[in-house]
Structures are given as C-alpha cells and as structure tokens.
Amino acid sequence: METRSRKRSNIYKGSISYSNLWDTLERRGLKRSNLLDKESFNLSPALVNKLRHDRNVNIDTIMYLCEKLDCQVCDIVEYKK
C-alpha cells in the first residue's frame, strides 16, 4: 500500500498575535529581555524576534511558555481573523 502525503493549502486568512504574551509578561513584572535570560527562559534571540513580529513558532515553544508562566495558551497567543 502506497502512502502519499498531500500538502494542505493554507485556507486561513487570519494571523497570529502574541500581544497576549507581552501583557502576561507585564502583569508578572517581566520584560521581553527576560525571555533571553538563561536563568529564567533561555529563549534564543531569533525565537524572541519571531514572537515580537507575530511569526509562526513551534507549538512546543507555546507549551514551554505556558509551563514557565503558569498560564494557558490564550494568555500567550491569539488568532485574529
């Protein structure tokens, strides 16, 4: 039996926003620079840049941030139509 992967075309028109992440950090007395700190979050500069510019990141990154901030996905990311 041959398996063939089909590429799904992007049919969504919305975008992702991480403005909730910045609000969550602010409520906890943290800044964007804390995301780079090796002792607290240890995210790479490239990853923080993706977040700053509302670009796609891996779901593992979202889960990691939820774990570190003790919050839910909606406290990090929002889908905007």
pLDDT tens-digit profile, the chain (81 residues): 556 667 777 777 899 999 999 999 999 999 999 999 999 999 999 999 999 999 999 999 999 999 999 999 999 999 998
Distance of alpha carbon 51 from alpha carbon 32, whole angstroms:
10
∠ CA 30-34-36, nearest 5°, is 160
User: 45: which 2 tokens?
Assistant: 């500069």
What amino acid is encoded at 19 in this protein? S
| pTM exceeding the 0.85 threshold for the entire prediction | no
Question: 7: which DSSP letter?
Answer: P
Domains and CATH numbers, the chain: 15-80 (1.10.260.40)
